[in-house]
Amino acid sequence: MHNTVKKVAAIHDLSGYGRASLTAIIPTLSAMGIQVCPLPTAILSNHTGGFETFSYLDLTDNMEEYIKHWKNIGIDFDCIYSGFLGSGRQIDIVSVFIDDFRREETLVVIDPVMGDGGKLYKSFDWNFVPLMKELVAKADIITPNFTEAAFLLGYKECPKEISREELKDWLKRLSEMGPETVVITSVPDANNSEYTNVVTYSKKDNHYWKLNCRYIPAYYPGTGDTFTSVMIGSLLQGENLPVSLDKAMQFISQCIKSSYGYDYPNRNGVLLERELPFLRTRPLISDYETL
Ligand code: PXL
């Protein structure tokens, strides 16, 4: 009898507090019935989004040895998913990992974490962007936010708004870098400032989709990791791309709305544990349309 539980190799840091990276990804995918096999890039006491201090243990030197044992065991993965990477060397290791572990049906998802709100994160400089561009070329799906999309395209500044035609051009140009599917999150809506949208382009069927999301004025670290995890979980369950993105967006909106009403520091992350049971159900499809 076939093992029906799908496996994801999750290449991210482990931040012990704050519900980002692996501490968001593992519970989210597990709740969706997917096995997560973490390949940790670093161990931090807590994520860096809003906490002034943190301990940091770089695991780059351990990664190759770790991967060697995975090869010896002979594991294969239904999905390889990488996010926050700390150095050019880690990018090289992930690149070789993809070459070694990818099978024809493996889904390779790269979240090119580099910045947000028009700025690079503090731990990155501009030399990192071309390295990330090389990794992105190997992905089936990339999930940059609006800022990261601009940086991948070679802009050093991110526009405040973008027309529909320009956005389609961005999606197409990003897909020409290699990925079959491009998903851009946190895109300002040119016609309605109350919305930040998710847009996507799929090369194979040459289709552009747009999902409208009402802007919520609160930023919680780690929501990008949860968003991409829900998308992956749903795709591995056999749903199509727009439905998977719709589910991811609904889930994140629900997490933010159910957290926002409580008075606690945003850096602690959304109250994920309260919402995880909802991932067990298939929500009603709410909103997606052709871009
Ligand atoms: O994806 C969010 C994230 C991941 N890893 C680290 C972080 C953050 C967000 O702040 O600090 C270390």
Residue 204 has a pLDDT of 92
Q: Which residues, in sequence order, are CB contacts of 55 under 8 Å at separation 6+?
A: 43, 44, 45
Radius of gyration of the chain (CA): 18
What token pair was written down for 78?
């239904």
Q: CB of 222 closer than 6 A to ligand 1?
A: yes
The mean per-residue pLDDT over the stretch 15-34 comes to: 97
Q: For ligand 1, atom 8, which residue shows the shortest CA distance?
A: 47
Name residue 111's amino acid: D
pLDDT score of 283 more than 90:
no
Residue by residue, DSSP assigns 241-260 as HHHHHHHHHHHHHHHHHHHH
Distance, CA of 269 to CA of 39 (rounded, Å): 22
Whole-model pTM: value is: 0.95
Per-residue model confidence as pLDDT tens digits over 137-177? 999 999 999 999 999 999 999 999 999 999 999 999 999 99
Q: CB of 113 closer than 6 A to ligand 1?
A: yes
Q: CB of 44 closer than 6 A to ligand 1?
A: yes
Distance, CA of 252 to CA of 260 (rounded, Å): 12
Split at pLDDT 50, 70, 90, the class of 1 is low
Distance, CA of 227 to CA of 250 (rounded, Å): 9
pLDDT score of 7 more than 90:
yes
Measure CA of the first residue to CA of the last residue in the chain; give whole Å. 43
More confident site: 111 or 2: 111
Residue 103 has a pLDDT of 96
Judged by DSSP in three states, 96 sits in helix
- Taking the centre of ligand 1 as the mean of its atom positions, its distance from the CA of residue 231, in whole angstroms, is 19
- Taking the centre of ligand 1 as the mean of its atom positions, its distance from the CA of residue 84, in whole angstroms, is 7
Split at pLDDT 50, 70, 90, the class of 99 is very high
Q: CB of 42 closer than 6 A to ligand 1?
A: no
Burial of 4 (0-12, 13-18, 19+ CB in 10 A): exposed
Q: For ligand 1, atom 9, which residue shows the shortest CA distance?
A: 49
Burial of 79 (0-12, 13-18, 19+ CB in 10 A): buried
Residue 41 has a pLDDT of 96
Comparing 30-44, 46-60, 129-143, the range with the smallest average pLDDT is 46-60
Q: CB of 221 closer than 6 A to ligand 1?
A: yes
The mean per-residue pLDDT over the stretch 251-276 comes to: 94
Q: For ligand 1, atom 7, which residue shows the shortest CA distance?
A: 47
- Taking the centre of ligand 1 as the mean of its atom positions, its distance from the CA of residue 289, in whole angstroms, is 31
Per this entry, what is the length of the chain? Answer: 291
Residue 223 has a pLDDT of 94
Q: CB of 18 closer than 6 A to ligand 1?
A: no
Q: CB of 224 closer than 6 A to ligand 1?
A: yes
Per-residue model confidence as pLDDT tens digits over 173-217? 999 999 999 999 999 988 888 888 999 999 999 999 999 888 777
Split at pLDDT 50, 70, 90, the class of 290 is confident
The mean per-residue pLDDT over the stretch 235-250 comes to: 94
Domains in the chain (CATH in brackets) are 7-290 (3.40.1190.20)
Split at pLDDT 50, 70, 90, the class of 238 is very high
Split at pLDDT 50, 70, 90, the class of 248 is very high
Residue 55 has a pLDDT of 95
Q: CB of 40 closer than 6 A to ligand 1?
A: no
pLDDT score of 36 more than 60:
yes
Q: CB of 48 closer than 6 A to ligand 1?
A: yes
Distance, CA of 45 to CA of 56 (rounded, Å): 7
Percent of the chain with pLDDT strictly greater than 90:
85
Mean pLDDT of the chain: 94
pLDDT score of 287 more than 90:
no
